[in-house]
Every structure is written in structure tokens, then in C-alpha cells.
Amino acid sequence: MNDMNDRKVFYIEKLTICSWLFFIFPYFLKQSLKVSLSLYYIDASWLGLKLAQGMSPTIRAEVRRLDFTLFDSKDSQGDLLWWKVAFEDLVEIQKYMMTHLAFQDLLKKYRTQKHLLLFLMRRILYFDLSPFGLTRILLLIRLASCRLNSQGPVTMFLSSGQRPWLAQVGKWAIQKQDVAIIPMRGIGFDCNIARIVAQSGPVKSFIKKMMYHGMKIKYRMCTIFQKSLMDIAINNPSKDSSPKIAVEFYGHLNLSSPYLNSDLFFYQNSTIASKDILIYFQHTRFPVSDKELEEILSCGMSAVVLNTRAARTPRAPIFNYHSPKVKVDSHPSSTMNQDEAAIQEDLCKQLGDYDQQRRYWAHFFARYNIKMHVSWYKYESGYLPLADALRQGGGVGVIYQRSFEMASNPWTVTAADVVFGFSKLGAHLGHDVDSLIPYYVVTGYWGEYRFAGIRKEAENFKTRLRAAGAQKIIAYFDESSVDDDRWNIGHQVTQENYTYLLNKVLEKPWLGLILKPKVVSSLRKRLGNVAGLLDCALKTGRCFVFDKNNVFGSYPPAAAALAADLAIHGHFFAATAGLESALTGTPTLMLDREGYSRSPLYALGVGRVIFKNWGELWRACEDHWAYPSGVPRFGDWSSMIDELDPFRDGRAAQRMGAYLQWIMEGFKAKLPRETILSDAAERYSALWGKDKVFSINSNLKQYACVN
């Protein structure tokens, strides 16, 4: 974009017929600007764009699409602007919004209800009912700010439907980035039938029931003459009223294959009774089928469906409780302006949402006598009313770390009774963002238990590639990509990475390649035409893809790392696969094409572990292979491995499982909740060290807080 200085630049978030006719065009007519205009739109309807292009000469404007990708949106240091948005802007703007008088009033009124306050803090970042809506707006503000020097003042038209906090964003943007925001109000940009239905609890509940019963009728018509023992087991549930552990299902069972990914890994490494486990299904992406249900029941566990769309079998019992919503009146004062009244109304709406969700979970926990809830997901606000309902019912909420986190931001705030983390690093991040964790327990990286079980199979993979002529074998970890490359890493980056490696396989008859994509199911779609290149590489016999039938794949990264001489993690957006690979002892390199120079992993050394592009990385590999003993410390994480996992003994999952078992023993003995938690922490400290249990931002004095 090379606009002249005598042009004024405007960005339009949504260019539609309504936005053009009722806001944008009238705004310029009223302003009577005497300079040429550059109008860049982010999204546009076909009719809205045609109308704007036809009328734009009247106001001396040129209408163009703002072409950008997240991958190419970088600062002067070559780092993604997204990093600054996530780790700087989002933190700043949350604090700025919390200074609003209406929010401060709620902080005082509900100061003892910590989960509720964290919920509200998280919810003020939701725009258009999306947890990432504001992140996109902040990225647009960053992009606009970067163009200020060459284009002069920048103004953005943002639609304000479902966005009562947009005025606060505008005040922040003009102060921090010198970007002006014009809200386009009240014309229902975001009102559509799907959204209305989604927000209507009774309608949504009715639709769910009809879909479920329709599936059940269809199923019964096909199996009317067939009965099984499983039918009896499910339709006549056990009368067992002992305390239960609820586990959220995210696509992995593998109960009989402990070396594969499993949402029940802690159970597989403990003496927890199978009858104490209840697995629930609520995600449509991970529905329960007859196969999963039979596997669960055959192990003596129980299952329940919370969302009928997450069931492909009517045999699973369903919990379909609709919690009525109590409206919290906002009572705006006569001195409030429109923006202030909207913010107060929004906060009262969030109070109602929180109460509704909390009562839903309270009924669920009471119905199944659930005393412990185990999950890794903490990145949206919904887990906070869940944790509150569990605590009020005398239960214990447990969060375990699944991903390596390099920096703190509002989405990593955690409120749980017990959090299991890889190392002290996670405890420090929790302290930085005001998490509320009475017991933060350091276990080490729990995935290490799989290494021993999968080593033999990894050797088989290696043998197959060696037999085809591979002398050097690389494992590559792909963290996936999305269709819209403006808001995340796009498919072009994936295609470039795969093209580079696949061409090397075809050029070098001595090179073997093992591909471990995070999202297996979409790999060929993401590769596009590069899928043909993949097929050519596979035909050589020196290329292998982990593609067991599952959305995210059942094999862990260790399976690829243990079969390789060298591993490469292709992204810095997530570094967990790289960490797991390094823990196997395989030299592991990190490719930082995105640009995140402030990552703590840079302490491992640029040119030794960290590389900015494929050319530098490949030359370093060739240098390494040129020497019989290799380049010293190449791909070596030992300089900071203690900071990432202080144990490295393959027993992290066992430690977590034992801790959960101690808690269950306390509930079965009908001990007080606080006594159970304190006793478990004391037992763990005695076994593994007093420096392995922390209290983060809580009032527990017997455990050290992170400084």
C-alpha cells in the first residue's frame, strides 16, 4: 500500500449495504473531506461491496480489500504482531476495561466471589460471543498503527452489535495506538436466526431433544430385533452412589493401549477404581459412538451425554437439564450515557449467565455424585462456574497442564483447587496473571510414561525406513493451520514447510522423513496440491505419516521422535511436541518462522536449537551430519531442561494418578474437603519435596507462594 500523504485512510470491519448506506457514506458526506480517501474493508458482502464501489467516486474514495495474513504481519524486529496482541495488548486492555466505574462497583460488591470475578474479567474480552473477537480487533488496530507513519491518521469503522465495550476499546486505541474508532451502532450486524436460536435456552433444549429422539427412533427401527448385554447395562444403570470423578472427553480413549494418547492417562497410571470414573460427552467434534461406549463399559466405567449432538448412539444415557436464567436488572442511572448504560447492562447479563451455568453444573454433579472434575481445558470462561458449582457442592476441581506455555496472558488465568504442572515455570505464569490456585503441584511432563511402551514400535518404524535406504531420519511436527490465514497460521505456511521437506526426500536418496501432524484428519486438505508431492515421497518408502484414524491422531510425538535421528518442530505457536521430543533424548530443533524472539526457548541458542528459516536449519543439519560425532550440543535442550521438567523419570502420570487417588480416598472416608486437600498435599510434599507444591494467590499459609 503506497498511498500518498494527501490521502486519508479508513478501515471498515464489515462492509454491507446497511453499513454503507446508514453509516459510512453519510459520515463522509457530513465531513465534507477535501482529500482523497482510501477505504480498506476487512470483510464485505457482495452487494455491499458493489454498492460502495459504485458510489465511492462521489466522495473521492477508493474501496479496496485489506490484504494481510497473520504470518506476514510482523514488527520491525521480525516478530509477529499477534504476539504483542496476545501478551501485551490483551493484558493492557483488560486492565483498562476493569477501571470502568460499573466494573469497579461489581468488584466491590462481589469481592468474596473469586470465581465470579474471574469470569467477569474473562467475559469483558468476549466480542460477538466469541472469546477471540477482541483479539482480532486488537490485531487490526496494530496493523493500522503500523501504517500510521506512511499514511497519516487512521480511522476504523467497527460494527458495535453485541459489543457494549467497544467505546472503551476506542478510548484505549486512541491513547495507546493513535487509532480512532467509529462505532456503527444499532443496525443488527450480528443478529441472525442462528444466533437468536443459540441464545434461546428453551428453543435450544427442544431442538436437542428432537434431534436425539429422531436418532433414537431411527436406531431402534434398525435394531428392533437385536438386543445386547450392553443395552441392559446402560438402560439399567448401576445404583452405585459412591463418589465419582468426572472426566471431559476430548477424543482419546485407548484404554487398552497406554502408550497412545488418552484422556484417561492418569487412570492408566494409578490404582483408581474404574467404577469411580464417569466420562461425559459434550463436544460435537468428539461424539460418542457404540464403539467408544462399549470400550468404556467393558472397563467398568460409566458415561453420560450432555449434548445430544455429541452422541452417535442412543444407547448412551443423556443429561439434558435446562437451567432457567434469572435476569439481573441493571438499573442505569439518569446520569449515564448510552455507552455506560450498555456496559452496565452487559455486566448484569454476565451475572445472569454465570448463575445459570453454575446451577446447571451443580445439578449435574449432584445427579451423579461427582466429587472431582478433571480436565485440561481452561481457555474459556465456562470452566469457572463449573469450578464454583463443584466447590460449593464440596467437590474438588482439577486442571492439568497439557500444553507448554511460554508467556502469561488473560486466557491462561486458572482457578482450580488443584493444578498439575510440568514445572515451576507454569506456577510463575499463573502468578503473573492472577490465577487462583490453592495447590499447584509440580509433577513433570506427564506424557513421558508413554516412552517405554512405544519405543519398540518406534524402532519398527525406523527399521522400515532404513530398509528403504534412509540413513538419516528426520521427524517433523506440524501444528496445523486454518482456512482464513488472517487470524491464524494459514495453509500456505503448511504447504511451504511440507514442500521443503518433501523435496529434500526426493532429492536425497539417503534421507528419511517421519511426519507427525497435529490434526491428521485435515492434512491432505491443508496441503492442497502439495498432497501430490507427499504421495511421491511416500512411494520412495523413506517417508511415513502418522495417520491413525482420529481427529488429532492417537500416536504421541514421542513415537516419531524415537524413530528419528533428528526432530524438527515447525512452529512456535505451540512447543509441546518439541518439548516431548527433547525429553526422549532425540536432538530437537525449533523452527521459528513466525517470529517470537522473546520466547524463553531462545535461551537454548540460535543456530543450535532455534532457527529462523529452512535454509539456515538445513545448512546446520548438513554441518551436523558431516562429522561422525555431530556438532556438539546440536539440538540439545539440557541447558534448560530442569526448568521444563525437574523429574524426567517417566513417572509424572503416576504421581498425578496417586494424588487423585488420595483425594478419592478422602471422599470415600467422608472427610472434610479442606482436610482432604491438605492431606494430599502433605503426602505429596513428603514423597517428592516441599518445593513441589505451591499456593498461588490464595490464603494458604503452609505452602509457599510463587514470587
Q: What is the CA radius of gyration of the chain?
A: 27
Does residue 677 lie within any of the structural domains? no
Domain count within the chain: 3
Q: Please indicate, yes or no, whether residues 319 and 203 belong to a single structural domain of this protein.
A: yes
| pLDDT band with cut points at 50, 70 and 90 for residue 162 | low
Does residue 688 lie within any of the structural domains? no
Sheet strands side by side (includes 302-305): 302-305, 277-281, 244-248, 370-375, 396-400, 418-421, 437-442, 693-696
Q: Please indicate, yes or no, whether residues 176 and 324 belong to a single structural domain of this protein.
A: no
Q: What is the mean pLDDT of residues 124-137?
A: 86
Torsion of CA 274, 276, 279, 280, to 10 degrees: 160
Q: Please indicate, yes or no, whether residues 365 and 479 belong to a single structural domain of this protein.
A: no
The region of weakest confidence among 26-35, 188-197, 266-275 is 188-197
- pLDDT (0 to 100) of residue 651: 96
| pLDDT band with cut points at 50, 70 and 90 for residue 301 | very high
The region of weakest confidence among 431-435, 549-553, 652-656 is 549-553
Q: Please indicate, yes or no, whether residues 275 and 158 belong to a single structural domain of this protein.
A: no
Domain span at residue 253? 197-329+336-446
Q: In 608-640, which positions are buried (b, 16+ CB within 10 angstroms) versus exposed (e)?
A: bbbbbebeebeebbeebbeeeeebeebbbbeee
Within 13 Å, how many C-alpha atoms sit on residue 50's CB side? Answer: 3
Q: Please indicate, yes or no, whether residues 209 and 170 belong to a single structural domain of this protein.
A: no
Grid cell 470414573 — which residue?
277
- pLDDT (0 to 100) of residue 231: 45
Does residue 294 lie within any of the structural domains? yes
Does residue 694 lie within any of the structural domains? no
Domain boundary among 586, 619, 644: 644
Q: Please indicate, yes or no, whether residues 153 and 220 belong to a single structural domain of this protein.
A: no
Does residue 453 lie within any of the structural domains? yes
List the one residue out of 651, 622, 542, 634 whose CA is nearest residue 588.
Answer: 634
Does residue 526 lie within any of the structural domains? yes
Cα 576 from Cα 54, distance rounded (Å) = 51
- CATH of residue 502's domain is 3.40.50.2000
- Candidate ranges 139-143, 316-320, 397-401; pick with highest mean pLDDT: 397-401
Cα 46 from Cα 188, distance rounded (Å) = 18
Q: What is the mean pLDDT of residues 52-65?
A: 94
Domain boundary among 193, 212, 235: 193
- pLDDT (0 to 100) of residue 370: 97
pLDDT tens digits, 346-356: 999 999 999 99
Cα 344 from Cα 104, distance rounded (Å) = 11
- The cell numbers describing 665, all together, are 480416598
| 345 Cβ contact list (under 8 Å, min separation 6) | 164, 330, 332
Q: Please indicate, yes or no, whether residues 533 and 440 belong to a single structural domain of this protein.
A: no
Domain boundary among 600, 623, 644: 644
Does residue 482 lie within any of the structural domains? yes
Share of residues in the chain with pLDDT > 90 (%): 68
Q: Please indicate, yes or no, whether residues 492 and 614 belong to a single structural domain of this protein.
A: yes
Share of residues in the chain with pLDDT > 70 (%): 89
- pLDDT (0 to 100) of residue 406: 85
* pTM, entire model: 0.89
- pLDDT (0 to 100) of residue 191: 40
Cα 230 from Cα 303, distance rounded (Å) = 12
Does residue 649 lie within any of the structural domains? no
Indicate whether 698 pLDDT > 90.
no
Cα 145 from Cα 85, distance rounded (Å) = 12
- pLDDT (0 to 100) of residue 186: 56
pLDDT tens digits, 331-347: 766 677 888 888 988 99
Amino acid letter, residue 494: T
Q: Please indicate, yes or no, whether residues 430 and 354 belong to a single structural domain of this protein.
A: yes
- pLDDT (0 to 100) of residue 149: 57
List the one residue out of 180, 181, 168, 177 whose CA is nearest residue 75.
Answer: 177
Indicate whether 590 pLDDT > 60.
yes
Q: Please indicate, yes or no, whether residues 465 and 599 belong to a single structural domain of this protein.
A: yes
How many CB atoms are located within 10 Å of the residue 578 CB?
Answer: 28
The answer to whether the beta carbons of residues 445 and 583 sit under 8 Å apart is: yes
Q: Please indicate, yes or no, whether residues 164 and 291 belong to a single structural domain of this protein.
A: no
Indicate whether 493 pLDDT > 90.
yes
Q: Please indicate, yes or no, whether residues 18 and 152 belong to a single structural domain of this protein.
A: yes
